[in-house]
């Protein structure tokens, strides 16, 4: 389960581009906390602290406690906008949640036991269709990642969501189809060999036709 993060913040009275630019010059990032049947709360956070939490790799699927003047607000990060050139955060959105809330998050997948896959051992390639799974989870039980065991999978096999055991308290947000997460595809050498065989067969047929 993802660790609970804490992010100190201060309220801001003014919105708009001018006020936001001024905050950014001071090393702050404008943000808003919304949802939970309460009025949106305009805040700003320290850019360095926000970047540090973003670098954990699981910020977007972690509970973040926003500390405003000693009062903590339980939130889930929903969006962080970045400057198109400088690649610095310029705005963040946080959704208020309760401890027993159900939340939808994108959780990265991690493939394990690749050495136990016959297809990969023969030189096959793991073609990843989905690097993340959209899950509906208990707010206090959001997984850091989902491990997918590729033991026994051979060339041509596909891994679907029905093949994955999700942790307790989590379910797929997509329920109308058994979607593909990854496939084991043939190595390029094998494809080339098969292609050469096809060409040879065609040439042989052509030669036979000419002789007739």
110 located within any domain: yes
Between 3-17, 75-89, 93-107, 185-199, the lowest mean confidence (pLDDT) is in: 185-199
| Greater pLDDT, 192 or 110 | 110
Question: Which of 81, 97, 113 delimits the end of a domain?
Answer: 97
14 located within any domain: yes
| Greater pLDDT, 141 or 156 | 156
Handedness of CA 10, 14, 15, 17 (dihedral sign): negative
By residue range, what is the domain housing residue 164? 104-191
157 and 114 within one domain: yes
204 located within any domain: no
* Residue 40, helix vs strand vs coil: strand
pLDDT at 180 over 80: yes
175 located within any domain: yes
Output the average pLDDT for the chain. Answer: 87
What pTM was estimated for this model as a whole? 0.72
Confidence of residue 26 (pLDDT cuts 50, 70, 90): very high
pLDDT above 90: percentage of residues in the chain: 67
Find the mean pLDDT for residues 158-174: 95
Residue ranges of alpha helices (H) inside 5-87 are 17-25, 47-54
* Residue 22, helix vs strand vs coil: helix
What is the number of structural domains in the chain? 2
74 and 126 within one domain: no
pLDDT value, residue 206:
44
Between 9-23, 35-49, 64-78, 90-104, the lowest mean confidence (pLDDT) is in: 9-23
pLDDT tens-digit map of 57-107? 888 888 999 999 999 999 999 999 999 999 899 999 999 998 888 999 999
67 and 146 within one domain: no
85 and 23 within one domain: yes
pLDDT at 203 over 60: no
Closest residue by Cα to residue 28 from 53, 6, 42, 9 = 9
CATH of the domain at 147: 2.170.120.20
pLDDT value, residue 201:
45
């Amino acid at each position: 389960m993802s660790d609970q993060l804490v992010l100190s913040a201060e309220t801001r009275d003014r919105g708009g581009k001018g006020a936001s630019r001024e905050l950014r010059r001071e090393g702050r990032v404008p943000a808003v906390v919304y949802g939970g049947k309460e009025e949106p709360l305009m805040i700003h956070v320290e850019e360095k602290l926000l970047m540090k939490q973003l670098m954990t790799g699981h910020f977007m699927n972690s509970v973040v406690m926003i500390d405003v003047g000693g009062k903590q607000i339980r939130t889930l990060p929903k969006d962080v906008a970045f400057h198109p050139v400088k690649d610095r955060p310029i705005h963040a959105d946080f959704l208020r949640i309760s401890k027993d809330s159900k939340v939808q998050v994108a959780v990265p997948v991690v493939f394990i036991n690749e050495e136990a896959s016959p297809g990969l051992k023969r030189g096959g390639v793991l073609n990843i269709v989905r690097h993340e799974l959209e899950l509906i989870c208990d707010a206090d039980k959001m997984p850091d990642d989902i491990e997918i065991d590729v033991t026994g999978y051979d060339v041509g096999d596909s891994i679907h969501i029905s093949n994955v055991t999700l942790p307790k308290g989590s379910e797929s947000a997509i329920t109308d189809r058994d979607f593909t997460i990854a496939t084991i595809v043939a190595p390029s050498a094998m494809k080339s060999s098969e292609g050469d065989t096809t060409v040879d067969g065609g040439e042989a047929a052509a030669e036979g036709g000419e002789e007739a």
